[in-house]
Amino acid sequence: MADRRHPGEPGSTGEHNRGGVFRRGGGPGKPDEFEKLYRSRESEQRVVGETRRIPPADQVPPHRPRKRRTHSAGREYDGRGHQRRAQQRRRKTARNTLIIVLVLLLVIPGGFYLWADSRLERVDALQDYEGRPDRQPGTTYMIVGSDSREGLDDDQIRELATGRAEGRRTDTLMVLYMPRDGDPTIVSVPRDSYVPMAIPGYADNKINTAFADSVCGTGEDGEEVCGGPGPLVQSFEQASGVRIDHYVEIGMGGFVDLVDAVGGVELCPEEPMVDPKAGLDIEAGCQEMDGGTALGYVRTRATPRADLDRIQRQREFFSALIQEASAPSTMFNPFKSVPLVVAGTDTFMVDEGDKLRHLASMLMAMRGGTATTAVPVGSTPTLDGVGSVVLWDEARSEQMFAAMREGEPIPEEAMQD
- Report the SS3 class of residue 186: strand
Q: Which residues contact 116 (CB under 8 A, 6 or more apart)?
A: 341, 342, 345, 356
Pick from 238, 185, 177: nearest CA to 207: 238
pLDDT score, position 146: 76
pLDDT score, position 103: 47
Distance CA 140, CA 365 (A): 11
**Domains identified in the chain, total number:** 1
pLDDT score, position 106: 47
Residues 403 and 132: beta-carbon distance below 8 Å: no
pLDDT score, position 393: 96
Q: Which residues contact 233 (CB under 8 A, 6 or more apart)?
A: 125, 126, 127, 142, 244, 247
Is residue 8, in this structure, part of any structural domain at all? no
CATH number at residue 218: 3.40.630.190
pLDDT score, position 98: 61
Is residue 98, in this structure, part of any structural domain at all? no
Distance CA 238, CA 247 (A): 16
Pick from 356, 322, 321: nearest CA to 341: 356
Is residue 212, in this structure, part of any structural domain at all? yes
Is residue 141, in this structure, part of any structural domain at all? yes
pLDDT score, position 233: 96
Number of H helices, E strands in the chain: 12, 21
Distances (CA, A) of 56 to 49, 65, 153: 20, 21, 98
pLDDT score, position 377: 93
Q: Which parts of the chain register pLDDT below 50? A: 1-2, 11-12, 15-16, 19-20, 22, 43-44, 48-49, 69-73, 77, 103-108, 149, 156-157, 160-165, 167
What's at 344, amino acid-wise?
G
Is residue 160, in this structure, part of any structural domain at all? yes
User: Mean pLDDT over all residues of the chain?
Assistant: 77
Residue 80: CB atoms within 10 A of its CB come to 9
Is residue 191, in this structure, part of any structural domain at all? yes
pLDDT score, position 139: 95
Stated pTM of the model: 0.67
Is residue 58, in this structure, part of any structural domain at all? no
pLDDT score, position 52: 57
Is residue 261, in this structure, part of any structural domain at all? yes
Domain membership of residue 302 as a residue range: 122-414
